[in-house]
Amino acid sequence: MTTDQKAEEEILARKLIEGDIEAFDRFVEIYQKKIYALAYNLTHNQMDAQDVTQEVFLTIFRKAHTFQGKSAFSSWVYRVALNAVYMKLRSKKKDQSISVEDAFPSFNGAGYHQEVIRDWSESAESLMFSNETKSVIQSAVDQLPEKEKIAFILRDVEGLSTEEAAEALELTISAVKSRLHRARLILRKKLSGYFEGKQIPGVAK
């Protein structure tokens, strides 16, 4: 977040605390898409994402005065949003099919790679916009264990810094880093199966 954005957020937070309804419009303008996208990416359900967004609007409006300014305002908003998402997800627990251990590559006794690692990064780039690719990617993210998924979405999708994500999740910086690292390893493993099978002749390495 830039210094200007931070300054604007501080003013916005202060006005919301005072119950300024115009400030609420500005809040909706800035956050509606972020909250909806976060909720949609975590629940994969339009109705659930809409419910979560409404819930967050109400909480922010009614409880702005409880914001104490100990963390950034945006981190507080993400925390409120995540709590609303947790409530939704709690009623819809799913199987999580890949374990974190499976996502680590195998090393020999000296700590060197034991298996062949194919570089499919260029074919990923060229296949990005096909509908098949999108749905494979969405289901890979969907199947991440919940803690890793949330860290991944806040950092790599929403673009929060490690510090901001740690504030929103009330975790240490090193816990956020290790969850994000595990999420990326699992996604790499899941997507490897798909992209390796799609290697473009001549580009394959």
Which residues here bind another protein, judged by CB under 8 A?
19, 21, 24, 28, 32-33, 36-37, 40-41, 46, 49-50, 53-54, 57-58, 61, 104-105, 107, 110-113, 116-121, 124-125, 128, 133-134, 137-138, 140-141, 152-153, 156-157, 162, 177, 180-181, 184-185, 187-188, 190-192, 195, 205
CB of 180 vs another protein, minimal distance in Å: 7
- Tokens 């819809």 sit at which residue? 92
Q: Which is nearer to another protein, 125 or 170 (CB)?
A: 125
Q: Angle at which helices 21-43 and 46-63 pack, to 10 degrees?
A: 150
- CA atoms of 82 and 77, how far apart (whole Å): 9
Beta bridge partners of 107: 113
Tokens of 46: 């339009």
CB of 7 vs another protein, minimal distance in Å: 25
Q: Which is nearer to another protein, 7 or 126 (CB)?
A: 126
Tokens of 133: 């690719």
CB of 17 vs another protein, minimal distance in Å: 14
- Spatial neighbors of 163 by CB under 8 A, at least 6 apart, are 173
Q: Which is nearer to another protein, 7 or 18 (CB)?
A: 18
CA-based diameter of the chain, in Å? 63
